[in-house]
Structure 1
Amino acid sequence: MDKPQVQEKKIDAALCQFLFPFSIREGCQLSLQKELKESGFDYFHLDQEEQEGKYYGSSHRVSHRGLERYYLPFASSILFPHSEEEIGFQRYSLRVEMDAKVRFNEIELGFILHSVDITLCPFNLGFVTLCIELAKEELTYTQALEFIKQFRQLENVLKRKDYPVVCCRGAEYQEVESFLFMEVVPAIKPYLDFVNSDKAYFETLSFFVDERMYAQAFFMVAEGEELSVVDVYRAGQLNGMDAEGRPYVSAHNMQYIKEYCRTHVYSRWAPYTYFVVDDDAFICLTKETQERADKLADQMYGEYYYSLLLNFFHKIVLLKLSVQYPAVQVDKDNKDIGELIRSITEFDAKYFFVETVSQTQGKELFGLLRIVFRNNDLYEDVKSTLGRLFQYQEKFTSRRNNHLLMILTIYTVIGGIYGMNQVIDDLKGNIDWGKMLKYSFFEYIALFVTFSGLIVAAVMGVIALVRWIQELVRTWK
């Protein structure tokens, strides 16, 4: 059996973006938007072309016109809303340009944090994106992969001694989480929604997918280096270094590695450029010329980043909706069932597009992201859930209407015929309450039915009014 052969490579450019998804507390999005602007974040808007080269370092820029043309209009209106009041992905960006370094496994790597983005999305979701460039001095492919693998771990859950330490501005942070929330984005910490924190044993943050950030990276190998199938596999699996500091490959079967690359790699421009998509990372590997590589890097900051962001959003919302269904107590939470039906229908109608990208290569890469994230399977599961919820709600409504009809029939018959004939004359004009003390047993029954019918009618009217107001509020939201 063939075993993978690993040859170390030098890297001329290593650009990384780390995405941290979080949940926003209900009703706090407007307050968070205000807090971000007060903290120095700028609202990202396509018509502000001065932002094109502001957040990605001195060598890269993202064409806003190109971004708009890349996506179809209905997708573009969600990704790039015209104002902060519109529904969509509201992005706030802050230029940082912070020099820092990370220590792990007796290795110290320097990096520049160019900027941080906070994108507020529908369904009370948000994303923090860190835009990082690794120092270029003698950087190897193994070191770059190991940096991503280590840095994306927010918490030292297993209390490992070799966990990375982040150093910047004279301070040392023992966890990447502390660096993120104390140094980079302290403004969002009060607005985090710790979903189901009472049901978790060790987690302290509300992760939907994993206890790590998702990584997007662009690697340009040095001139003269060749890219092998093993190099591509290592990128998708984030195979950095082993315990001895040597290049690591997590598989020994070349047939398995080739099969993995067949299903996870977009190789339209092979052998010069490869795009690798996995559950943990989306990576571009290239050995193109400097000019072509810079264009690819710009696309990783622009068009391809938003393709990843939209697919990541789809996956998290679909997982969130899937988790909500088992949590609903079907026999008790009819209101929650209605909310879940509304959320699934809204997601299906507004956000889960079949066609999103206008260009052929963009469609193919977007499709690969959707396949690897298994969004289509999750979507079919949620649609199946919607069908079951509709069936249950229909049966519940029918059963409730039958009970209501039976109650109304009883009151109509007894109160309208028996009650009216027995006590209605005594309830006209000035009521003689003392006369009721002499009622017979059946007259007391008629009196009870009459007054309880009035109370039932009043209560039902109030309930109907409250539900109507709630529906109006949901519509306005």
Structure 2
Amino acid sequence: MEQRLAISEKTMHVALHQFIFPFSINRTSQNRFKEQLLKDEFNPFLIYETQQEERYYGPGYQVSHREMERYYLPFTSKFLFPHAEGNEEGFRRYSKQMNLECSLHSPYYNLAFTIHSLDVILCPFDLGFITIRTELNCAELSYSLALEFAKRFRVLQNMNKQDDESYIQNNKMTFKESESFIFHILGPNTLAFLEKGRQNEAHFEKLPFFLDECMYVACFYSFVESSEISLVDIYRAARIDGLDKEGKPFIGATNLNYIKSYSERHSYDRWGPDTYFITDENAFSCITKQSHPIAVKIANKMYGEYYYGLLLNLFHKIVLLKISNQYSQVRLEQNQGKIEELIRSITDFSAKYYFIEVVSQSQGKEIFLQLRKFYGNDELFVEVKRTLTDLFEYQSNYTNKRASYMLRILTIYTVISGIYGMNQVIEDLKGPINWTKMKDYSVFQYFAFVVAVSGILIGISLAIDSLRQLIKKRKY
């Protein structure tokens, strides 16, 4: 489509990105994963260790642990910032300071950037997140180049010609895809712990992505103070529109009314016209033209409170999608054990992790709810609650039918073995059994003997099964 909108290029002071890759962990491997992270010099992130406040975010930036904890309500803080490093019911974050100098190249630009740190977060429900914190180092940085960097780096596996033309360079090593750069340089021992169950179901995917082949990205862009932040700038931040195929500033829409409507729906303008927060399915961005001291404070929030708000919403969405996928499978398999496990998962998620009220501060609550809205978590949660109702109904019908069948079988055995069968052979089963008498049994006596013995065996097996189910329920 021919571009008809004139784009006013903006000069920037700072461009910070946090790329977030959600993944599924192999079952029962979280503890081994944790041990490997410690061997790889990742440090457990603990809220009471204030010496970590300046360690992972680059020169000039820091996160106040005290403010971050107070930002969330107590039951949410307990989950996000567990006090015990081994608490498997919360976010177990392991961070590593990197200070790695790299560059992104294409026919139209060479962008130098620093990777300040790497997070690996282990979550309940066998989920995890990898977060890569970067800062662009270009002397003269334009808004289009910052967006283009976010657009290219977040693509794990190349999908078009522009992706194929770009590459990442580090210490004279070249990587055509972000995926290979992440799993060879940043986290070389991470790939072994990723669950690869979806590989057999996909033709092109090589990793078990839940949503697509791209990372989520949290962006912070600080413009020079003389800039004017327009609706076009807000739209481009939401859609991560950088450069076109000819290396010129690009926007993926031409209708100004559409851009206006979209930008107003997706932006939080409480501090406009100087600062806007923009939310989309793939990106959470902040653009500001505030003075440097204020811009640094906003960036610290993006590294702290807002970062955890984004993680929590992503966690909610992925767990809900995972539960929905499991429900579609158990409906086909009708496996009673998996149905009970799914019921426990939904109940556990609803009781411990999904709350309407999460944030204590008004502005933070509004931003958090905006993230939840655009990820569609409330709608997904309603569907999952319906799923729980359907599972309970199915389980109730199954239990009633099973009880009916068992009662019918036991009644038949009771009648045959109690009234007829045992009277035929009971005398021969008293004391030491004389097996030679069975040679003279009639057909009816053989039948009675088989019914009696099988009834005893069935009773024992039912008792063992009931005991096993009781132990299993107490375990959970």
| TM norm structure 1 | 0.97
CA shift in 2, pair 1:397/1:159, >3 Å: farther
User: Residue deviations 1:315-339, cap 9 Å, x none?
Assistant: 1011111111111145631111111
Contact in 2 for aligned 1:157/1:202 (Cα 8 Å):
no
Equivalent position of 2:268 in the other structure: 266
CA shift in 2, pair 1:161/1:307, >3 Å: closer
Q: How far apart, CA to CA, are the structure 1 residues paired with 2:147 and 2:250?
A: 10
Q: 1:307-326 counterparts in 2 under 5 A? A: 307-326=309-328
1:259 deviation in Å? 1.1
Q: Of 227, 230, 240, which residue of structure 1 is paired with 2:242?
A: 240
Q: How far apart, CA to CA, are the structure 2 residues paired with 1:164 and 1:424?
A: 86
Equivalent position of 1:249 in the other structure: 251
Contact in 2 for aligned 1:24/1:126 (Cα 8 Å):
yes
Q: 1:197-212 counterparts in 2 under 5 A? A: 197-212=199-214
Contact in 2 for aligned 1:151/1:164 (Cα 8 Å):
no
Equivalent position of 1:453 in the other structure: 455
Equivalent position of 1:84 in the other structure: 85
Equivalent position of 2:154 in the other structure: 152
Q: How far apart, CA to CA, are the structure 2 residues paired with 1:161 and 1:31?
A: 35
Q: How far apart, CA to CA, are the structure 2 residues paired with 1:273 and 1:157?
A: 33
Contact in 2 for aligned 1:25/1:191 (Cα 8 Å):
yes
1:88 deviation in Å? 0.2
1:470 deviation in Å? 2.5
1:170 deviation in Å? 2.2
Tell me the secondary structure at the aligned position of residue 417 of structure 2: helix
Equivalent position of 2:342 in the other structure: 340
Q: Which runs of 5+ in 2 are unaligned?
A: none
Equivalent position of 2:48 in the other structure: 47
Q: How far apart, CA to CA, are the structure 1 residues paired with 2:75 and 2:340?
A: 27
Q: 1:102-117 counterparts in 2 under 5 A? A: 102-117=104-119
CA shift in 2, pair 1:261/1:161, >3 Å: closer
Q: How far apart, CA to CA, are the structure 2 residues paired with 1:237 and 1:327?
A: 34
Q: How far apart, CA to CA, are the structure 1 residues paired with 2:232 and 2:161?
A: 31
State yes or no: 1:429 paired with 2:407: no
State yes or no: 1:374 paired with 2:408: no
CA shift in 2, pair 1:159/1:238, >3 Å: closer
Tell me the secondary structure at the aligned position of residue 285 of structure 2: strand
Q: How far apart, CA to CA, are the structure 2 residues paired with 1:370 and 1:450?
A: 62
Tell me the secondary structure at the aligned position of residue 277 of structure 2: strand
Q: How far apart, CA to CA, are the structure 2 residues paired with 1:358 and 1:11?
A: 33
Equivalent position of 1:65 in the other structure: 66
Q: How far apart, CA to CA, are the structure 2 residues paired with 1:384 and 1:367?
A: 22
Q: How far apart, CA to CA, are the structure 1 residues paired with 2:132 and 2:153?
A: 11
Q: How far apart, CA to CA, are the structure 2 residues paired with 1:471 and 1:439?
A: 46
The AA in structure 1 aligned to 2:44 is: Y
Equivalent position of 1:15 in the other structure: 16
State yes or no: 1:395 paired with 2:388: no
Percent of matched pairs sharing the same residue: 47
Q: How far apart, CA to CA, are the structure 1 residues paired with 2:168 and 2:374?
A: 31
The AA in structure 2 aligned to 1:139 is: L
Q: How far apart, CA to CA, are the structure 1 residues paired with 2:302 and 2:355?
A: 21
Q: Which runs of 5+ in 1 are unaligned?
A: none
Q: How far apart, CA to CA, are the structure 1 residues paired with 2:333 and 2:227?
A: 64
Tell me the secondary structure at the aligned position of residue 190 of structure 2: helix
Contact in 2 for aligned 1:81/1:89 (Cα 8 Å):
yes
1:437 deviation in Å? 1.3
- Count of residues paired in the alignment: 473
CA shift in 2, pair 1:160/1:274, >3 Å: closer
User: Residue deviations 1:370-410, cap 9 Å, x none?
Assistant: 00000011111111111111111111110000001111111
CA shift in 2, pair 1:216/1:58, >3 Å: same
Q: How far apart, CA to CA, are the structure 1 residues paired with 2:67 and 2:119?
A: 20
Tell me the secondary structure at the aligned position of residue 25 of structure 1: coil
1:453 deviation in Å? 0.6
1:440 deviation in Å? 1.3
Contact in 2 for aligned 1:419/1:450 (Cα 8 Å):
yes
Equivalent position of 1:56 in the other structure: 57
Deviant stretches of 4+, over 3 Å: 2-5, 157-163, 329-332
Comparing 342-351 and 187-196, the one that deviates more: 187-196
